[in-house]
Amino acid sequence: QVQLVESGGGLVQAGGSLKLSCAASGNVYVIESMAWYRRAPGKERELVASIHLSGWTNYSDSVKGRFSISRTVNKNMIFLQMSSLKPEDTGVYYCSYRRRGYDYWGQGTQVTVSS
């Protein structure tokens, strides 16, 4: 079993930056890929960015060029550097990992972008 703990959320003005962190512990060797998702108020949870074992990354169109996903060398932590934040980036951000076709989630961290 893998535990995920997110941190780094908060309140920021539009145009500002914020960096989220996610620490994975436990049987981390089973992780195939990790990702950040978000759920905006009244909307479905959506993929923001993912990073695979190979280091390949993927971003949603809405954050390309503004957000960057990265990880530590030992792959036990991932980060989401968010820049040029917009009010529509507001939501709960979740760290997740994938194993054998299933996604597992952390508790989430709130990001609020004020206009």
The β-bridge partners of 68 are 81
**Structure-token pair, residue 96:** 């997740």
Per residue in 31-66, pLDDT (tens digit) is 999 999 999 999 999 999 999 988 999 999 999 999
For residue 75, what pLDDT is reported?
Answer: 74
DSSP state of 40: -
Mean pLDDT over 100-114 rounds to 95
Tell me: pLDDT of 76 over 90: no
List the 18-26 sheet strands across, edge first.
Answer: 2-7, 18-26, 77-82, 67-71
pLDDT at position 69 over 90: yes
pLDDT tens string 4-39: 999 999 999 999 999 999 999 999 888 999 999 999
